[in-house]
Structures are given as C-alpha cells and as structure tokens.
Amino acid sequence: QRYWRSNLDYNSMIKACNKSLKNLQTSYIDLYQVHFPNRRIKISETMRAMEDLVKEGKIRFIGVSNFSLKQMIEVEEALKSNDLASTQMPYSLVDRRIEKDILPHCSERNIAVLPYYPLGHGKLGSENSALSAAITDISATHGNKSLSQIALNWFYSKHANVFPIPRASNPDHVAENVGSVGWRLKPGEISSLERAVSQAG
C-alpha cells in the first residue's frame, strides 16, 4: 500500500491508513510506503505516525519510495522502534544509478529494494546487436528464456535483497514473469548482459 506525499503530517497519515483498511476490508497492511518525500513535512512527524500505526497493529512494515540516500538515512534516524523495511526505486539493466549509493546501503542495512520499471521502461527492447547476441546465447543455455525473463532473473541472480515489480496486468504477463524464477544466470552471463547494455550507451 502506497501513501502519497500530499499529506504526510501525523493526523493525515493516521486518517489515510484507517481509510485504506476500510476500503481493503482488512485489519492490517503488510507494507505501508511513503510514495514520495514531502520537504514541507518533517520526516520525524511522518515516521512517528508510521510507528504508531505499527504499534496499533494496523501496519506491519514501513517503506519508502523515491527517497534519496540522504532522505532514507533521515528516515532510519527518525524511526525509534522499527527498521526501514524497503525502498522502491527505478532500477533495471539500463538504469543502474542506485548501484552507486542506495543499493550498497540497503544491502548493508538489510533493506529490501523493490525496483519499478525493471524492464527499463521499454528501453531494453531497442536495437542493440550486442544485447541481442547475449540474449540469444543465454536463452539457449537456459531453455529458450525471453528477454524479459532474462532481464528479471538478472536481479535474482545478482542480489539477495532486490525484488522487482514487473507488469502483471493479465494472465500472460503473470506466466511470463513466472518463467523468470527457478534458475540463475552465471556470473559470466551477468557480465555479458551488463557489458552489452553499456556498449549501447
């Protein structure tokens, strides 16, 4: 469940969570995320609301989305009795910016990373002869896996704390996504994928 940045003050957070529980017809939400930071509201106030919701049993885990490393650290410092469980960020083979700082921090702190646009927002499908060659070789080795299945497996093979959020709006998408698990890319295959993408600029 994501909570938008327009109202991150204490009272609005509590009210919004109660409304979500009613709409979802459930007694608790597993993961409650602040979708964007709001610089007009102190992070400490937002996290105080989050921790009170945990204490009341209305949410189980606290997450953020689109927070910089500095903002994430502020969240961690503001939390008194709970750990930051997750962060949701754009991350893919063609957008690896979070590998510079956010990903190492999350690995060290055991924070789950939930990449959105894990297939590069369509950029993986652009013409790239080096990538096509790498995909062809890898696909043949692993039972004719598709580009999207290989791109998703790249996360699972490379990181223990990264869980991508692929498109799943119909049964075909779900079946395609299922084919990305249950196997692992070899280190050399990971390198060839990353090298092919970097060559394309």
Stated pTM of the model = 0.90
Cross-strand partners of 2:
33
CA distance to 2, 4, 72, 125, 189, per residue, from 37 (Å): 12, 9, 10, 32, 37
Is a pLDDT exceeding 90 seen at residue 124? no
Whole-number Cα distances in Å, 149 to 130, 144, 170: 18, 10, 16
Per-residue pLDDT of 164-201, as tens digits, reads 999 888 999 899 999 999 999 999 999 999 998 887 65
